[in-house]
Amino acid sequence: MTEARGAYAGLAAALADMPRQIGRTPDAILMVSAHWEEPVFTVMGNPMPPMVYDYGGFPEHTYHVHYEAPGSPALARRVQGLIEAAGLPAAFDAERGFDHGMFSPMAVMYPKAEVPTVQLSLRRGLDPAEHIALGRALAPLREENVLIVGSGLSYHNLRQFGPQAREVSKAFDDWLSDAVDAPPAQRVQRLLAWSQAPAARIAHPREEHLIPLMVAVGAADEEQGVRVYHEDAFMGGISVSSYRFGAAAGDAAA
C-alpha cells in the first residue's frame, strides 16, 4: 500500500487541490467516465448508486471500496433534456452505479462523498466531434453550479507502460498540452484531428480514455485550458497530464 500511495502521490495531490481551485462546493457533479460506453448517450438516474467494480485481478480490498455519494435523478433528467434539445440521442438508466473512473478520483477530491453525482456515458464509436457537441449541449450546467468532470487518462496503452513508453508518451503529452493551451477555435480543430498527432495511436490504441476530455472542452468552449497536473515518470515512466478550463478561484480573471 505504501508503494501504491507513492506511485499515485502526485496525482492524488492534484486531485485533492481541485476544490480549492474551484473555490466553492458544487451543488452536483456530472462525471463522464472512460469506463462507460453505450449505443446512445446514457445518463445515470439511480438515487443511491451501487458500486461497479469494472476491473479484474486487483487486490481483494479494491472490491470492497464504497463511495456513497448520492445520485440525482433530477439532474439526470436535466442532462437528458439538454442532450436531446441539442439533437443528440439520449437515454436514462435508473440502475447504473459508480464505476472506478468515477469513485477513484472523487474519493480524493470529495472524500466525504457529500456532493450528488451523476454519471454520463460515452457514445460507442467515440466520435470526437460528437462528444465536443455533447459538451456544448451541457454547458448551461456550469452556470447552475454543476461541476463537469471528464475522467480518463492522457496516455492509455496497457501493453506499453513503464520506461519503454517514456518517449512516445512524452511526444503525445507535449502535443496534447499544446492543443489544450491553444485559443479555443484552434483547440477544437487540433483535438478533432488528434489521431494525427505524434505517437497518437501508441498513446491511445483505443481512444475511450481521451474522449472525456472532448466533452470538457465542449462544455468550456470559450474558456482557456490550463494544465493543472503533470508527471513525466508516472507508473514507472509515462508522461501524463490533466487540465482545468476556466480561471481558478482567486485569479484576477475569475
Domain contains 251: no
Domain contains 254: no
Domains: count for the chain: 1
* DSSP single-letter state for residue 203: H
pLDDT of 2: 38
**pLDDT more than 70, % of the chain:** 94
Domain contains 250: no
pLDDT of 158: 83
Q: Which helix (H) or strand (E) holds 37?
A: strand 28-38
Asked whether the CA dihedral 197, 202, 208, 209 is positive or negative, the reply is: negative
Domain harbouring 224, CATH code:
3.40.830.10
Domain contains 252: no
Q: Whole-angstrom Cα distance, residue 215 to residue 150?
A: 7
Domain contains 209: yes
pLDDT at position 254 over 60:
no
pLDDT tens by residue, 21-54: 999 999 999 999 999 999 999 999 999 999 887 7
Domain contains 253: no
pLDDT of 4: 45
pLDDT of 58: 65
Domain contains 53: yes
Domain contains 98: yes
pLDDT at position 253 over 70:
no
pLDDT at position 209 over 80:
yes
Residue 2, classed as helix, strand or coil, is helix
Q: What residues make up the domain containing 136? A: 2-245
| Sequence-separated (6 or more) residues with CB below 8 Å from residue 26 | 115, 145, 146, 147
pTM: 0.92
Q: Which helix (H) or strand (E) holds 130?
A: helix 128-138
pLDDT tens by residue, 211-251: 999 999 999 988 999 999 999 989 888 999 999 998 787 66
